[in-house]
Amino acid sequence: MNNKDTNQDTGLERIATGVPGLDEVLKGGFFEGAVYIVRGTPGAGKTILANQICFQHARQGKRALFVTLLAENHARMLQHLEQMSFYDGRLIPKYVYYISAFRVLEENGLKGMMDLLRREMRAHEATILILDGLIAVEETSTSDREFRKFIHELQAHAATAGCCTLLLTNGRRGEYHPEHTMVDGLITLEDVPYGKRRQRELEVRKFRGSSSLRGRHPFQITNDGLVVHPRPESRFLRNAGVESDRQISTGVEQLDRMTQGGLIADTSTLLLGASGSGKTTLGMAFLQESSKQQPGLHFGFYESPQRLIANAQLLGIDLQSLVTAGHLEVLWRPPIERILDSLGNELIDAVRRRKVRRLFIDGWGGFAAAAETKERLGPFFAAVCNELRSLNVTTVCAVETDNLIGPDMRLPIEGISAITENMIMLRFSEYQGRLRRLISIMKIRGGGFDHSLREFDIGPQGLRFLDTFENAEAALSGFAKHAEHASTRRPASSRAPIKKKPAKGRRAPARRRGKA
């Protein structure tokens, strides 16, 4: 990524942060000569973020000045940073220069502090300045007016020097801060609890000169530093494009006939069914049609690639040869302490990387387990599906229902059926002393389909359809009862007449004599 990028709207130069995901949230990075406040509680990641930006900036041959006002000296801070992959001691002090100004502020006050900053910016030709510990300047000020004057002077010097300035503070006062109205931007870092989990989140509250991705975006602190995961709901906003009239095979000949030629391309299909009903098998059959022209992707949560491929082989589905040829990729993301936004972005990035045309998500419960709240699942799913359509991907998503047998169909997400174009239902029915698998098409938007209820079996030859399930009554109740086939019934003339009992309280009519 280039260190500078001109903003077409304002003509100002951009300074990329180099932090994964953050430049996308900022739509290019910070502005040269601007002043920003980075606010967060202790431990939120402010100092790591600032150092990461400095070293990424230095790798571009630019210079950064890091001034700390904290009691902890920078030597101890650097010891902690040595564990981070972005840290490079060879860049110190030529490109990244550290100063401890705690004593200067105590002895000479705000004026002495400002003189130090102005002098060091000019001496080191810094284009990024970090002031870690703005709260110390605030506490040293005798009034809000004096503190605002310090911010104003710092803005003037930064603009003259073309130096982007980040002011780090924990913001111990109330929500309203007068200095927030003066600076060019405000970014907050928070550690938010969700039940027994905690999730770090970044939000751009203010950003002059450009738009940014709105809302709170999760981030992680890793050995590589901060990694920001932009929310798909704010990231993917483009239209889905022109609807396609092409059809692609489901991988099962009988299902292609039921859908009158296969699934409509660039649409999303829900495979609804209880555990063990055959969703993964049907998804693997769909991926078996992957090719150089239609690259496939299996994005799963519950089975490792080795186990998935081995199970497919037992059903006569050869996924290994497709993986070897590069026509299919299998990605496994165990649903343990995952971040929903990270999963969504990984999925879209994998689709873009290989220009995937066939996608099977196995299954939706992996996303649901990573969501911080249930309310997010609907908008999240809509944003991801819309982006997949824009990328010309035909998606099949397995969704587990909680009822094994019965007439009710309870969807795990309210409104999810309206988001997708197609719905296929897999369920069990108890019939003649054994469980049978049934399949039915519930919806094909923009196309016709066979409304029949079909029985199918899963064996060494894969998924095999049986005759239409029309010799059972109330099959969808889950407890089918045998109905006598019409060909085995006696003719109407040979049946004994059915005698009706008279209604209660009435006498049976007397039999009439004579000719009828």
Q: Is residue 203 part of a domain?
A: yes
Q: What are phi and psi of 292, to 5 degrees?
A: -65, -35
Residues 472, 363 within the same domain: yes
Residues 414, 329 within the same domain: yes
Q: Is residue 496 part of a domain?
A: no
pLDDT in tens, 354-396: 999 999 999 889 999 999 998 899 899 999 999 999 999 999 9
Work out how many domains the chain is built from and give that number: 2
Write down the pLDDT at residue 507: 46
Residues 90, 128 within the same domain: yes
* Dihedral sign (CA 133, 134, 138, 140): positive
Q: Which residues contact 237 (CB under 8 A, 6 or more apart)?
A: none
- Domain end point (choices 173, 195, 230): 230
Q: For 189-245, give the DSSP string.
A: EEEEEETTEEEEEEEEEEETTS----SEEEEEEETTEEEE---HHHH--S---SPP-
Residues 159, 295 within the same domain: no
Write down the pLDDT at residue 239: 65
- Domain end point (choices 172, 204, 230): 230
**Spatial separation of the C-alpha atoms in residues 388 and 414, rounded to whole Å:** 21
Candidates 392, 452, 387; CA nearest to 419 is 387
User: 16 has which bridge partners?
Assistant: none
Run of H or E residues at 47: helix 46-58
- Domain end point (choices 230, 260, 284): 230
Write down the pLDDT at residue 11: 67
Candidates 70, 126, 136, 134; CA nearest to 100 is 70
Write down the pLDDT at residue 196: 87
**Spatial separation of the C-alpha atoms in residues 396 and 388, rounded to whole Å:** 11
Q: What is the 3-state secondary structure (H, E, C) of 386-432?
A: HHHHHCCCEEEEEEECCCCCCCCCCCCCCCHHHHCCEEEEEEEEEEC
Write down the pLDDT at residue 493: 40
**Spatial separation of the C-alpha atoms in residues 319 and 309, rounded to whole Å:** 6
Candidates 361, 365, 429, 367; CA nearest to 395 is 361
Residues 213, 339 within the same domain: no
Candidates 20, 73, 79; CA nearest to 49 is 20
Write down the pLDDT at residue 427: 87
Residues 222, 298 within the same domain: no
Q: What angle do CA 305, 308, 314 make, to 5 degrees?
A: 140
Write down the pLDDT at residue 244: 76
Q: Is residue 53 part of a domain?
A: yes
Structure tokens at 468: 């239409």
Percent of all residues in the chain with a pLDDT value above 70, rounded to a whole number: 82
Q: Is residue 55 part of a domain?
A: yes
Q: Is residue 514 part of a domain?
A: no
Residues 255, 173 within the same domain: no
**Spatial separation of the C-alpha atoms in residues 299 and 365, rounded to whole Å:** 12
Task: Count CA atoms within 13 Å of residue 224 on its CB side.
Answer: 7
CATH number of the CATH domain containing 424: 3.40.50.300
Where the chain has pLDDT below 50, the residues are 1-8, 471-474, 482-516
Give me the domain span that covers residue 418. Answer: 247-477
Q: Is residue 512 part of a domain?
A: no
Residues 150, 262 within the same domain: no
Residues 317, 187 within the same domain: no
Residues 174, 25 within the same domain: yes
Write down the pLDDT at residue 414: 67
**Spatial separation of the C-alpha atoms in residues 342 and 347, rounded to whole Å:** 9
Q: How much is the pTM?
A: 0.84
CB 11: neighbour CB atoms within 10 A? 8
Buried b (16+ CB within 10 A) or exposed e, 385-394: bbbbbebebb
Q: Is residue 320 part of a domain?
A: yes
**Spatial separation of the C-alpha atoms in residues 152 and 31, rounded to whole Å:** 17
Query: What is the maximum alpha-carbon separation in the chain?
Result: 131
Residues 259, 221 within the same domain: no
Write down the pLDDT at residue 509: 46
Q: Is residue 239 part of a domain?
A: no
Write down the pLDDT at residue 71: 64
Residues 217, 262 within the same domain: no
